[in-house]
Structure 1
Amino acid sequence: MKAKMFMAATLVMVLFLMAACSGNNGSTGTNGNASGKPSPSSSETAGTSNPDAAAPDPVTLKFMLFGDKPADLDKVLAKFEEVSKDSLNTKLEFEYNTPQDHRQKMQLKMSTGEAVDVMFDAGWMNLYNHVSLGYYAELDKYFNNDEYPGLKAAFPAEFVEANKINGHLYTIPLTYYYTDLNVISIRKDIREELGLGPITTLEELEVYLQQVQEKKPDYTPLALGGRGFHKLFTPSENGRTDIRLAAIGSDSFTGGIPFSVALSEDGKKVIGAATLGDPDSEFASFPAPFNTHASIYGHFQKRVDWSKYINKDALAPATGVVSDKGGAGEGTIGGISRDRQKLQEAYGTGLDIEPFVYESDDVRNMKPGAIRTDFRANNSVVIPASSKNIDRTMKFFDWLFSSKANHDLFELGIEGEHWVADGDNGYKTTANTTKYQFQPYELTWNPSLSRLNSDQDPATMNYLQYALDNKNYFQIALSGFIFDSKPVATELAKIKPKFDEVEQILKVGYEKNWLEMAQSLNKQMRDSGLETVRAEVLKQVQAYLDAGGK
């Protein structure tokens, strides 16, 4: 089964690449089309497929994303309205929040029915819970549909099928590679100034941080943003199929509570489910070395140990290697070139950044089969079922994914101003790139349309190419399992706010008595129905295995 799913995932990526190479209704030949008028090869996808048709009534669509609003977003939206007025006659309004506020406001808006047309959501946010609660519209009919040729070309049927939840598609799945590798961005110029060699291990990274702290006291050795240490220090299954780890909240696949789930050696029986703060007895039946609480959740102690290197406002969204004068910062490989440009604009061209990939030693050394994935899109956008503009919203997405020119406008900005083309599938930055740094993983990522930034250092480029190759991934256990939160919605509504509040503190190492805090949280969760949720997790996982799931 695992091999079949891996082959299916590989086929999906092959189909994507075939689409990119053969042309995706204008995936080639439309570069430099600043007027927005389609080339003959993309005439049907630039919003002018029927010039005699009357423009639809005007509509304003409300988008809800997280992060920082790009400075030139309004300029790009004005360009969009100019080139699409006759076909879409649509205005877009964007609301941006911090990641934590986004998660909370999503829940509030869905529960109150407040008008929103598009929201970012993902399995590591509220996606599966909200689908179970009926908050999101089914989108099946818009894909593999000749009335939506842009969506049909950009999203092969196999990829759509892989991202269905309980037999239906509730998302527009966004991916460029299955994993945007997690990194510590090292200030290369500072490392060299300190006389240190390239950093290849966590031990060498700590030596570097110590040196920055000692010799550059006006710098923050490790500047963290809103996600804290994220997955630094967390364990990995390393290809095992007898356990699915959820060492932090964003890895939860069980309703937002990070239960790690153990299976029998043959993968046919569920052995147990344990979470943060549980006694060791809950882990006793787990396969070694994951048979203690510390083996899965002990990484929070390392966060405490390293908290002496981080900024005092590590939960604030605007921190990082650039804005905090950081000696290093936590992020992803896809953000290296962006941060480098920001750094050089702020402090001079002699400054530089280099990546230290911290996923695991095997990933850092780019070994095959080392990156964990479930072969589903890690990011996505959804359309609330309460939206009054579902068809018009999907027409916008059809337009967006119908040509390279349309897609480039939102993902990269105005060509010649915010970026310049480098061949059919690459781009280079300009002096104005930092004025439009859109978050592509929240709206536009697509393997057949997204361009690769050519302004990369060799190490970063090698890692990006590594992440694009499916042979470098392993499929985690229970990769097709979707937890239905409806039977325990009441319990989760009580438990999850308690967990989220405590994890905010633990993920940055602010509480040295973290274990006592975790155990206290666990007692509160048990008092709120944790055992009911645990029993439901075990029940649903076993039903999934009995049905042939892996």
Structure 2
Amino acid sequence: MKKLIAVMLIIVLTLSLAACGGKKKVEETKGENADSKEKSGTIEEKVEDKDELEPVTLKFTYPGSHQQDEEKVEEAINEYLKDKINASIDIEPIDWSAFEEKTSLMMATGDNLDMIFTASWMTYYTDVAKKAYVPLNDLIEKYAPKTKELLNPALFEGPKVDGVIYGLSTNKETAGATGLFFRKDLVEKYKFDISKIKSIDDFETVLEPMLETIKKNEPGIYPYYSNGYNSLVSFYQPLSIGGGDTPGYYNPDSGKIEYTQESEEKVLLYDLAYKWANMGYINEDAVTAEEWVPNMFCTWMPYKPGKDAEMSAQLGVELVGEVIGDPYTTTCEVTGSMIAISRNSKNPERCMMFLELLNTDKYLNNLLNYGIEDVHYLKVKDNVIDFPEGVTASTSNYYPSSQWMFQNQFLNYLRVGEAEDKWEQYDAFNKSAVVSPLLGFAFDATPVKSEIAACKNIREEFEKALVSGVLDPAVAVPEYLEKLKANGSEKIVAEKQRQIDAFKAKNK
């Protein structure tokens, strides 16, 4: 590195004034903070010609399991990368149960680590506060221009903290919505028109008669299947703030943080859950159930194009889905899958070069996702693949099943059975979404972390039982709200309102 810098200093001294002006422009790029300004000088001094780049190895970790042929795939990736950016990748998946603890320790102790999967629902904001990640604004500008041009601008806006990007979001669905999913054979058998279910206002008038029909005529089939929080009441709340564990959502009509448990939609759904449970439409083990089952007629899931095909393959029965309400693009959605560059990395520039390729190079993207052609998968059509004969997802020697983590999903091959226009559907879905007025806002829970912990315990006490129809909402909801307030929920709501008001004032 010292030799490289010495060479570059000689080059810089011989550059024209125009090049000096270019450097000044980079150093003055908007969105820099003190840390990113410090990085910009290093970025400007890097050699862009791959033939002059020293070979480096980049460690990349994500939550998942080790694949039997991981080393074979690494070898193929590294052979390809040598001619691209003269880098090698060391893939290190860490089991989900240990991922956050292990990576936190690795970053704190200075262990070798370059790229790391992160998300807003994991420790992204906590790690940003710890300065665990490298600022990416300048790195993206210089080393990922095609990615910046290609991706939805919301993917760069959502991860910002004080104007600085610390995670590069995955290009997948940039919106979230509620979906109801049905057994296709039963929909066809009884000629149900599920397209008439447009919003939760149609649940009682349109959906309920369907559940009654199934209850009367299909013994052994759950009319509505609930598994705890993935339940009837888990309707998509696009403007929740700070996650479901914290009281208060943003009402755009009033501009205020209000209690979710008092919203018109939530009260309606609590009541329906209680009614349907007493009519025998909901499975009795809803509070403790964890997985979906094939012998269900209807259930709730987060909606995205192709979700029905994914779940059909998982359950072994064909499902059809119907989106309920409008999809929303929120900070939560666009920060749900990101790759950050660790502060421990000695080669952040090369990391960004790799991420640029992962977002723009179809061969590399699918090599990481699916392995080696004719070894781990077979091409059925130009963009459609299948497992070799006798191999399944669970028996494959290489199938991380982490496509949603590895950057640009629009480059992914399609599996047999998936709609061949899947990515066109994704694009249309993303474009149809309502953009949240709070896009880019991230709630800092630090001032009320003890109150949030206390309220989380109260939520555990009431929420699952309410959404599963076990508790009478007329009795339980007032008690629920009283306990929340007794444990600091009003302080949480006030803090959320303060931060949102400051965000709106700053972004007028």
Q: If the length of structure 1 is used for normalisation, what is the TM-score?
A: 0.63
Larger radius of gyration: 2
* Structure 2 residue corresponding to 1:178, chosen from 158, 171, 174: 174
Please give the residue correspondences for 1:145-544 in structure 2 after superposition, counting only pairs within 5 Å: 145-146=142-143, 151=147, 155=151, 159-161=155-157, 163-179=159-175, 181-193=177-189, 195-200=190-195, 201=197, 202=203, 203-224=205-226, 227-229=229-231, 233=235, 246=239, 251-253=240-242, 257-262=246-251, 270=255, 272-276=256-260, 293-307=263-277, 308-310=281-283, 312=285, 319-320=291-292, 323-331=293-301, 332=303, 333-343=305-315, 346=316, 352-357=318-323, 359-360=324-325, 370-374=326-330, 377-383=334-340, 387=344, 391=348, 394=352, 396-416=354-374, 417-418=376-377, 420=379, 422-423=381-382, 426-430=383-387, 432=391, 434-435=393-394, 436=399, 438-447=401-410, 449-450=411-412, 455-456=417-418, 464=426, 466-468=428-430, 470=431, 472-492=432-452, 494-495=453-454, 497-498=456-457, 501-502=460-461, 505-506=464-465, 508-509=467-468, 511-514=470-473, 516-544=475-503
1:140 aligns with 2:137: yes
User: How far apart, CA to CA, are the structure 2 residues paired with 1:499 and 1:63?
Assistant: 32
User: How far apart, CA to CA, are the structure 1 residues paired with 2:295 and 2:208?
Assistant: 18
- Cα 1:61/1:456, change in 2 over 3 Å: closer
- Verify the 8 A CA contact 2:73 2:368 in the aligned structure 1: no
- Verify the 8 A CA contact 2:247 2:493 in the aligned structure 1: no
Q: Which has the higher helix share?
A: 2
Q: Percent identity?
A: 15
What letter is aligned with 2:297?
G
User: How far apart, CA to CA, are the structure 2 residues paired with 1:500 and 1:384?
Assistant: 35
After TM superposition, give the deviation of residue 538 of structure 1 in Å: 2.3
- Cα 1:212/1:255, change in 2 over 3 Å: closer
- Cα 1:491/1:458, change in 2 over 3 Å: same
Runs of 5+ unmatched residues, structure 1: 1-48, 237-244, 278-291, 361-369
What letter is aligned with 2:93?
F
- Verify the 8 A CA contact 1:129 1:485 in the aligned structure 2: no
- Cα 1:503/1:125, change in 2 over 3 Å: farther
Question: For the aligned residues, what is the CA RMSD?
Answer: 4.4
What letter is aligned with 1:217?
P
* Structure 2 residue corresponding to 1:119, chosen from 117, 120, 127: 117
After TM superposition, give the deviation of residue 405 of structure 1 in Å: 0.7
- Cα 1:340/1:548, change in 2 over 3 Å: closer
After TM superposition, give the deviation of residue 535 of structure 1 in Å: 2.2
User: How far apart, CA to CA, are the structure 2 residues paired with 1:445 and 1:231?
Assistant: 32
After TM superposition, give the deviation of residue 526 of structure 1 in Å: 3.3
- Cα 1:465/1:91, change in 2 over 3 Å: closer
User: How far apart, CA to CA, are the structure 1 residues paired with 2:232 and 2:412?
Assistant: 26
User: How far apart, CA to CA, are the structure 2 residues paired with 1:387 and 1:507?
Assistant: 45
User: How far apart, CA to CA, are the structure 2 residues paired with 1:157 and 1:476?
Assistant: 14
After TM superposition, give the deviation of residue 338 of structure 1 in Å: 2.5
Cα shift readout 1:224-277 (whole Å, capped 9, x = no counterpart): 56751276556x7xxxxxxxx64xxxx324795241234677xxxx4x422245
- Verify the 8 A CA contact 1:258 1:275 in the aligned structure 2: yes
Number of aligned residue pairs: 431
SS at match of 2:368: helix
Runs of 5+ unmatched residues, structure 2: 1-48, 198-202
- Cα 1:262/1:187, change in 2 over 3 Å: closer
User: How far apart, CA to CA, are the structure 1 residues paired with 2:233 and 2:223?
Assistant: 18
Cα shift readout 1:100-125 (whole Å, capped 9, x = no counterpart): x68xx748964994878523313x55
User: How far apart, CA to CA, are the structure 1 residues paired with 2:192 and 2:154?
Assistant: 45
- Cα 1:254/1:354, change in 2 over 3 Å: closer
User: How far apart, CA to CA, are the structure 2 residues paired with 1:396 and 1:459?
Assistant: 28
After TM superposition, give the deviation of residue 169 of structure 1 in Å: 0.5
SS at match of 2:161: coil
Cα shift readout 1:150-195 (whole Å, capped 9, x = no counterpart): 75565577853454222000212123232254433322123334x3
User: How far apart, CA to CA, are the structure 1 residues paired with 2:211 and 2:346?
Assistant: 51
